[in-house]
Structure 1
Amino acid sequence: MGILSNTVSICQFMVVGNVPASEVFEWASTNLARVGFTPIDHSVAELSAGWVHVDDHRENSFAVPAAFWRDHYLVFTLRQDKRSIPTVLLRSNLQLEEREFLAANPGYTKVPKQKKEELREAVRTKLLARVLPVPSTYDAVWDTDSNILTLATVGSKAVEQFETLFKKTFEGLRLVVIHPYSRAERLLLPETLAQLAKANKANSDAVLDLIKSNRWLGWDFLLWMMYRTMNESSEYRVSQPGPAVVDESFVAYLNDRMVLGVSGENGVQKFTASGPMEQFAEVRTALKSGKLINEATLYLERGELSWKMTLKGEQFQFASFRSPQVKEEKDNTVDAVSEREALFYERMYVLELGLQLFDSLYLAFLELRLGSEWDAELKKINSWLDES
């Protein structure tokens, strides 16, 4: 699903490094074109990756603003075309070549190692020429005002490839994933930041250490949300800047699906609860046995607008993030390019509104979790769990 789809999986990064203060269009245009996608349809190459237009995955020229420039956003797509040969097909064709070699050379009882490698490479090349490359695309939106980049995938391999190609494209810049701890740092006021630093369980500033050592943030947030969904008001207040007005009310709750897990001698044991949760009876039983909530379906509502997502607690990735529907309106008086740009801005509005509500919700949790009232809140949560 692309960034313009009403449902899309996303993760976010901070762009770290120095971006030119002027002539940003020329700088970005040159760099994106330099690593533009090259088709491999008429070759035997196995892999090609590069940048294309978000609106046309065949175009790799970024010479005009309409190709990727949207006000303070840079919008571009990573396209990867990959050929792969099924192992069974490669093996059967190689066996056929080996039999033909032995038939033509009766002095051999088996194919020599070097010849076997030559035959394998020849078979691979022949098969690659017959296999069409399969394309994959991943949209990205870079907000140059906030320096936040939103990537339309949560797949680990795709994310890794995107980070690598981005670093190659924009020399001197790098992407740092926005995880629960770093998102908290962005939201908290200086006086509460000290409490966050005190609660930090990481031994270094390495991103992986900050994520793994502070998984308690995701676990406690989802536990608190589950308790609040069943026992307290689900109404919260907007506290972060964005499309919604500060102090405006919205609703947030969990439902439909949760994934819990616990580490043991045989690895991580997972438990999935799905369907309407009612009293969360199954989940509460699992929590009492030592399991922790790793991901859950979160709903956000503001007036008639609603958002639904699968929140992954370890990194705060937003899988299957469904926003209010935005439709491309066909107007014969407006050209297609203008229509697509209008669709983009509407899509960014509802996506950023949903993220604004999420950040406001997360901040409400952080202020409680890092404050003096958390022990009392945790006591209430544990008493509720014991009732099941």
Structure 2
Amino acid sequence: MGLFKGNLTFSRYRLIGTLPDHFPDFFNERIRKNAFQTVWRTAEEKAAGWTGLEDPLDTEFHHASYAQGRYLLFSLRVDRKSVAPSLLRLRIMEAERNKLSETGQKKLYREQREAIREAMRLELLGRTLPVPSLFEICWSVPENTLIFCSLSDKVFEDLQELFRDSFQLTLCPYMPWDPQFLQKDQPGSGTAGKTAQPPLPDFPPGIDPLTIGREFLTWLWSKSEERNGRIMIPGAGESEVFFIRRLVLESGDGEYAETVVCQGLHADLKEGKEALRQGKKITVARLRIAHDKTEWEFTFKADRFHFQSMKLPTLPENDGEEIDREGQLLERIYLIEKAAGMMDLLFQFFLERRLSNDWEAELSRMQRWISQGSGN
């Protein structure tokens, strides 16, 4: 229930495609048609479909219960079945011995063994109860953006397939370093309606889109220590950014990757800066961001711009009055978009520096900062 209460983990997506005419009617028909259907007594390994956000058993969506303001709010339910390999092996051995006894054969043909294996697998799946999982979705229709409460690639594949089949739209992972998404008016940034700035140039050969997120997070750490956390963000004003409790730094790829983890109530900054001096870049960091008397805390994953365990500002109590659940939900969504928008603005601030003629001077400043912090 991350959208309603508690901490929140999410990834973001852009929608590619054109919404049909009479979209509300189209959406209502398609979400009902592709609502979740149980597979408890079948041999299917997986079932996926849409359910209500608050009520996972709601697959009728009466009175357009998914509509809240300019958002469509619902959940993806995925039920999976699995058979323990050890149990399957035992059942196959038992079935093969029975087959040999019935036929008098000394050895089974390959086709017979394969048929037995498949029959046993289907039989066990038919007797197995599925394990359900629910993933919340917040679709901002005017902005063609979607917040999905999962970071799993496997679950995203389920989402992408069902979303395309249901609404004839393609989901594209949101990457603020993708040139087609580099805009000044970011969702939740509070800059909508202002004059758009000229688009940033394409990445030059020296910039790798696959590692630019790590460069950004490393730069942000150095920038946050210039003025004790205070950063003047173009388009947002004075804000505070603090790196707290946990840092993950990495260099290399695959089996040659080297990782350093700094964690604790006060992360060992000296150890982290020594890792930077050795050429590592920050891939994951726990951040605390404050802006306009509002504070967020979350783990930021640089490679994909993902947010994990986001702690939102506490909403004011109602002093005994009936809780306005819709109002609180919309306020939480606003705060989620605001935090993500702040990170987008910070990235744009970094990217403008990264592509400017002043980047060499910025690198020299960062090197001095790293050397001072690592004790050299």
- TM-score, normalised with respect to structure 1: 0.84
8 Å CA contact 1:273–1:283 kept in 2: the answer is yes
AA aligned opposite 1:51: W
Quote the residue 2:7 is aligned against. 7
Whether 2:356 is the aligned partner of 1:357: answer no
Note the residue ranges of structure 1 that are not aligned, 5 or more in a row. Answer: 203-212, 241-245
Q: Residue 251 and residue 144 in structure 1: after superposition, are their counterparts in 2 closer, same or farther (change >3 A)?
A: same
1:18-37 residue pairs with structure 2 within 5 A?
A: 18-21=18-21, 23-37=22-36
Of all paired residues, the percent bearing the same amino acid is: 26
- Is the CA contact (8 Å cut-off) linking 2:224 and 2:240 kept in structure 1? no
* Residues 116-265 of structure 1 mapped to structure 2, 5 A cutoff: 116-171=113-168, 173-182=169-178, 185-187=182-184, 193-194=199-200, 196-199=201-204, 213-237=208-232, 239-240=234-235, 247=237, 249-263=238-252
Residues 309 and 322 in structure 1, CA contact (< 8 A), matched pair in contact too: yes
Q: 1:86 to 1:150 in 2, by over 3 A?
A: same
SS state of the match for residue 215, structure 2?
Answer: helix
Task: Quote the Cα distance in structure 2 between the aligned partners of 1:314 and 1:70.
Answer: 32
Is residue 2:370 matched to residue 1:385? yes
- Aligned AA (2:213): G
Cα drift, residue 382 of structure 1: 0.5
**Separation in 2, partners of 1:330, 1:60:** 34
Task: Using the TM superposition, give the Cα deviation of residue 32 of structure 1 relative to its aligned residue in structure 2, in angstroms.
Answer: 1.1
Q: Which residue of 1 aligns with 2:54?
A: 55
Instruction: Provide the aligned length of Structure 1 versus Structure 2.
Output: 363
* Contact 1:261–1:269 under 8 Å retained in 2: yes
Match of 1:341 in 2: 326
Q: How much does 1:279 deviate? A: 6.3
Classify the secondary structure of the residue corresponding to 1:140: strand
Aligned partners of 2:225, 2:320: CA distance in 1, in Å?
A: 46
- Partner Cα distance (1:110, 1:330) in 2: 77
Compare 257-266 and 33-42 and name the one that shifted more: 257-266
CA RMSD of aligned residues (A): 2.8
User: How big is each residue's C-alpha offset from its partner over 1:32-88, in whole Å with a ceiling of 9 and x where there is no partner?
Assistant: 11211111123332211111111111222235222x111110112111111110111
Work out the CA distance in 2 between the residues paired with 1:317 and 1:80. 21
Q: Secondary structure at the match of 2:289?
A: strand
Q: In the superposition, relative to structure 1, how do residues 325 and 265 fare at CA in structure 2: closer, same or farther (>3 Å)?
A: closer
- In 1, distance between residues paired with 2:268 and 2:62? 57
Normalised TM-score (structure 2) = 0.86
CA distance in 1, matches of 2:177, 2:346: 15
Equivalent of 2:279 in 287, 290, 293: 290
Deviation at 1:191, TM superposition (A): 6.1
Gaps of 5+ in 2: 186-194
Deviation at 1:30, TM superposition (A): 1.0
Once the two structures are superposed, residues 245-298 of structure 1 have per-residue CA deviations (whole angstroms, 9 ceiling, x without a partner) of: x54x33112121121222168432222221245662111111222212122112
Q: Residues 76-155 of structure 1: matches in 2 within 5 Å?
A: 76-105=74-103, 107-155=104-152
Change (3 A) 1:25 1:192: closer
Letter in structure 1 aligned against 2:111:
Q
Which residue identity is paired with 1:77?
S
Question: Which residue does the alignment assign to 1:307?
Answer: 296
Instruction: Show the counterpart of 2:41.
Output: 42
Distance 1:178 1:91 in 2: 43
Question: Matches of 1:55 and 1:329 in 2, distance apart?
Answer: 21
Cα offset, 1:329, TM superposition:
7.1
- In structure 2, the CA distance between the partners of 1:201 and 1:70, relative to structure 1 (3 Å rule), is farther
One-letter code aligned to 1:234: G
Distance 1:33 1:15 in 2: 20
Give 3-state SS (helix, strand or coil) of 1:98's partner: helix
- Aligned partner of residue 287 in structure 2, secondary structure: strand
Whether the 8 Å contact between 1:29 and 1:63 is mirrored in structure 2 is no
**Structure 1, residues 285-330: CA drift from partner, whole Å, max 9, x if none?**
1122221212211211236532122211122111222212459979
Structure 1 residue 92, shift from structure 2 partner: 0.9
| Greater Cα offset, 306-315 or 272-281 | 272-281
Q: Is the 8 A contact 1:236 1:361 kept in 2?
A: no
In structure 2, the CA distance between the partners of 1:100 and 1:327, relative to structure 1 (3 Å rule), is farther
Larger helix proportion, structure 1 or 2? 1
Q: Which amino acid aligns with 1:197?
A: D
Q: Distance in 2 between matches of 1:296 and 1:44?
A: 43
Letter in 2 for 1:220: E
* Deviation, structure 1 residue 216: 4.2
